[in-house]
A and B are shown apart, each in its own frame.
Chain A
Amino acid sequence: MIELKNIEKYYANKGVKSYILRHVTTSIKQGEFVSIMGPSGAGKSTLLNILGMLEEPTYGQYEFMGEDVVSLNERKRIELYRNHIGFVFQAYHLIDEMTVAENIEAPLLYKKVPGSERKSRVADILDRFNMVAKSDLFPNQLSGGQQQLVGIARALVAQPSIILADEPTGNLQSAQALQIMDLFKKLNEEEGITIVQVTHSEVNAAYGSRILHLLDGVIKEDVTVQQTV
């Protein structure tokens, strides 16, 4: 579903190019659960952002479901977000002024889903996440783990085919982190949603099916994980 060929990203500063990513070539198939690992500054987040079309590569080819993303115009790109990609962030990035239910509903609004269907889908997902009681609360009234659950719910409500998660558990306590990772695994296995996550934690990475090790912008290792958990 994702094909990367020779992706490069660098910032030119006073004629000196500082590379973030070099010659990244890989492909991710439907249904995979990929973890991107590596030390700080290795380019993990940048790679994820490129996958999520939040940043453009300086050079290289990126095909998403057979379409060349680099040449897409903004409107097309937004179409792709709306229909195929869900984002989960380390800092949750919920909209503070909106309630839990409203936050979850937001992507559906942009997808122009009709009102009644929106309501039922939001209700569905709240139910699945056991958050019905919290639907009218504001993000700052929730714990970090709960906020991240809302973040994931929001990513899922639009029924994406891929979830991109940037250190989804980075701000959470370990118990909550495990809960989130279990959820990811379940989504991946039961609903066949492709998941790409950036993580520091070996434990988290072990939930996935594949690990990309990044070092100084280069893929050093690409290993398939033996399911132990």
Chain B
Amino acid sequence: MFKLNFKIALRNLWKHKAYTFINIIGLSIGLASCMLIFIFIHYQLSFDMGFKNKDRIYRVVTNWKYSNYNDFSKGVPVPLIAAVRNEFASLEKVAAIIKRGGIIRIKDDAGRDIIKTREVVYYTEPDYFDIFDMSWIFGKPRQALSQPNTVVLSETIAIKFFGSPEKAIGKSILYGDNINLKVTGVFKDMPQNSSSPLDIVISYQTFNSKKYTNWDSVSSETECYVLLKDGVSLADLQITLAQFNKKYYQNKNIQGNQNNTFQELKDIHFNEHYGNFAGTTITKKEIYGLVTIGLFLILTACINFINLATAQSVSRSKEVGVRKVMGSKRKQLILQFLTETFIVTLVAMLIACVFTELVLPDMQNLFKKQVSFSLFGHPVIFVFMIVLTILVSFLAGFYPAMVMSGFSPALAIKNKVVANAGGLNLRKALVIVQFSITIILIIGTLVIMEQMQFLRQKPLGFNTDAVAMVNVPGSSYDQKKYNTFKQKVLQIPGVEMLSFCQNAPLSDEITTSGFNYNDRKNNDFEIRISKADENYFNLFDLKFIAGKVFLKSDTISGWVVNETFLKKMNISDPQDVIGKMLNAINGNGANIPIVGVVKDFNDKSLKEDISPLAIYAEKSEYYKAAIKIDSKQLLPAMKKIEHLWNNTFPDNVYNASFVRDNINNYYKDEYVMGILFRASTGVIIFISFIGLFGLISFVATQRTKEIAIRKVLGASTLELVKMLNGSFLLMVFFANLVASPLAYIFVSKWLSGFAYRIELDIWPFVLAMLISMLITLITVSIRSYKSAIATMIDTLKYE
């Protein structure tokens, strides 16, 4: 029976080649998009899930509550680590891990550098490897890092440094200026889906933890992981945790009601408040967004299928009638139609695999990670494909099968079946759903594009053109060379100005501090502190509204604050603050006069408001040299700067970037989102209009007789096309009415994530309506014109 069904199914599909083609193409594109989304989400959800103890691992994090905002850090104060070890009896292991970066050098026997490179390194304790199980090629986790001045490397790094893991063991590497490390172990590379991707790990004893005793100083680069004892739950720790926080935060000088909490390992990849070493977080919101888009895609593809299949059903009525007369049960008919759907879905799935493989490299590019997304990399993906095929077969095939198998044999055999009006209404409803989805996505895409355009074009309040940020080494020996370096750089043709500073005006490396103003302590907010020399303001074209720049100095001699600071302090006349004393407690602890006020500029990405800001000079804390270059001589000048830099700081590694590029990097997520939206909108528009074409074909076939009669009565082609199009335009118009309010809710929610955003006006909605109506008109007209000009005399002959 199945074999026969299969054969008949194939013949039927072949007979209606056009329908089959439309069905398969629409479905396979939908399936391919779904699979891409699944592969991506599966990868995201697999983060940190490869560890044996994954359910018992927690990270200690730090939280602050200020009067008008909360702050979070994934880091902990260094003394906390020992305290946690002492206070919590139900923890099996506690381990600190500290991220640093520095120059690594490997010397040959003669003492010459073979390799000189800037690398990220981690300090950690042997316990870390009891918490996170890793596989080792050489060395034992407990012993390898038990001594000071030892280091373990990942396989890749060992090969990069020494050629092979074997050769690496026992060798020494130089970290920074004077730390000699002996390689005592090599571990297998950590998987890409890891929030703490370790490559070079130095023993914790090498790290001078003794000098950190301050509970008030929290660096986000100092993390603490704990392993709960078997059978202990987080709830069991809450009482001890409350006592712990009470005991260690008695000091009134510690601001913002600082306290520590535990964060589950599986939350680390998804919590944007805390972040992680790998710098990869994706919020659950984004994941849900993608899942929604995936469901939309499958839904639209299934709706297509249902519409096309029921449309076709009339032409199958005779077959159904004959089969019933011959004694076929309804169940058998349903089975036969489902077989057909299954075959179509299966073929579509195979084509979808090809599409997926073709698009995977682009997706990898889009996410800019060295992630090998692969179709066959994981058995789960295969399972997903099977489940998807079966699900779609049922979802898409069941309704048409029920309709077709339900035909009354007496009518069916006389070909008298007209797809009942109820069926058509259901199909219309489905099309409206489909188009509402399409229109929501069109509106979303338009708004995202408009907002991105706005972000790119909004003036930030400072000059971003042709300014390069070059790193400068911070050791006291190197600091002595700053002046000569500056002199020489300024002699390079094309270089206009140079300023030493901590960061460009817009940056997400933020230091904040509490402060005293006029000897009164402020408890309402903290100010952002930035360090720069006197040329900074001129170079970045920051405008003064009162006072002037502090005098040239290597240490603090005066503050420059911004307008927002005045607003937050309720000072209306900028002249008022000139000469007033400011003391940023975490800065340097001295009363220093304010000498100038600059006009507000955006110091953070446009997602956030401008912070109250104070700038002063501090030579020992400049990390960067901002160099303004004549844009016509940009590239040659940059080459010369690099050469000069390498001669001036031979022990360090050069690193440069342009301010404009750095700023654009802050909108990477939005950029990716924009592309995702555009791609899925494109796909859904395509699928929807394929479906529309199918439906108009059906309607046109169904109304052939009516069209013929009307023609005989004197209707012109144009009038017939208008008649056929009318109901479709009405449907799409209705879909617009449904979609617009929903889209409004979505996009205004998305926009509210930006401090600086476009005014949401009526245009995206109107434009989406015009686009959808226009495409509908074109799609439908193609088919209805064909019907209207067809010679239809045959249909008017005897029935």
Contact = CB atoms under 8 A, between A and B. Distances in A.
Interface string A131-169: 000000000000000000000001000100000000000
A54 B712 contact: yes
A74 B719 CA distance: 13
A95 B716 CA distance: 17
A12 B705 CA distance: 26
A91 B799 contact: yes
23 contacts: A45-B797, A49-B793, A54-B712, A54-B793, A54-B796, A55-B791, A55-B793, A74-B716, A78-B714, A81-B712, A81-B713, A81-B714, A87-B713, A90-B798, A91-B799, A93-B705, A93-B709, A95-B706, A95-B709, A107-B714, A110-B710, A111-B714, A158-B713
Contact of A74 (B717, B797, B798): B717
Interface of A: 45, 49, 52, 54-55, 74-75, 78, 81-82, 87, 89-91, 93-97, 106-107, 110-111, 154, 158
B715 interface: yes
B499 to A, nearest CB: 78
A78 B713 CA distance: 9
Contacts, number: 50
Interface string B787-799: 0000101001111
Contacts of A81: 712-714
Contacts of A54: 712, 793, 796
A103 to B, nearest CB: 9
A110 B712 contact: no
B796 A95 contact: no
Contact of A93 (B715, B716, B719, B796): B796
A16 B118 CA distance: 87
Contact of A91 (B713, B793, B798): B798
B799 A78 contact: no
Contacts of A91: 796, 798-799
Nearest to A45: B797
A4 to B, nearest CB: 18
Contacts of B705: 93
B-side interface mostly? helix
A78 B716 contact: yes
A110 B713 contact: yes
Given A74-B717, A78-B716, A95 B710 contact: yes
B713 A107 contact: yes
Given A54-B712, A81-B713, A87-B713, 12 more contacts: A45-B797, A52-B712, A55-B791, A74-B716, A78-B714, A81-B712, A81-B714, A82-B714, A93-B709, A94-B709, A96-B706, A107-B713
Nearest to A110: B714
B717 A89 contact: no
Given A54-B793, A93-B705, A95-B710, A110 B715 contact: yes
Interface residues of B, number: 18
Q: Which 5 A-B pairs have the closest CB atoms?
A: A82-B714, A110-B714, A107-B713, A81-B714, A54-B793
A106 B713 contact: yes
A91 B713 CA distance: 15
Interface string B761-799: 000000000000000000000000000000101001111
Contacts of B799: 91
Contacts of B706: 95-97
Contact of A75 (B716, B791, B797): B716
Contact of B796 (A78, A82, A89, A94): A89
A52 B708 CA distance: 13
A106 B715 CA distance: 9
A110 B712 CA distance: 11
Interface string B696-715: 00000000011011101111
A96 B708 CA distance: 13
A106 B710 contact: yes
Nearest to B789: A74
A54 B794 CA distance: 10
B712 A87 contact: yes
A110 B719 contact: yes
Contacts of B710: 95, 106, 110
A45 B794 CA distance: 11
Contacts of A111: 714
A91 B709 CA distance: 11
Nearest to B797: A45
A154 B712 CA distance: 11
Contacts of B796: 54, 89, 91, 93
Contacts of B708: 93
Contacts of A106: 710, 713
A107 B705 CA distance: 16
Contacts of A74: 716-717
Contacts of A87: 712-713
Contacts of B798: 90-91
A43 B437 CA distance: 54
Give the most central of B712, B714, B797: most A CB within 10 Å: B714
B341 to A, nearest CB: 30
Contacts of A52: 712
A75 B710 CA distance: 15
A89 B709 CA distance: 10
A87 B792 CA distance: 15
Contacts of A110: 710, 713-716, 719
Nearest to A54: B793
B723 to A, nearest CB: 11
Contacts of B716: 74-75, 78, 110
Contacts of B709: 93-95
Contacts of B717: 74
A74 B713 CA distance: 14
Contacts of B719: 110
A55 B37 CA distance: 55
Interface in B683-736: 705-706, 708-710, 712-717, 719
Nearest to A80: B714
Contacts of B712: 52, 54, 81, 87, 93
Nearest to B705: A93
Contacts of B714: 78, 81-82, 107, 110-111, 158
B727 to A, nearest CB: 11
A138 to B, nearest CB: 12
A96 B705 CA distance: 10
B707 to A, nearest CB: 10
A54 B795 CA distance: 12
B789 to A, nearest CB: 8
A154 B799 CA distance: 20
A82 B705 CA distance: 19
B15 to A, nearest CB: 22
A75 B715 CA distance: 10
Contacts of B797: 45
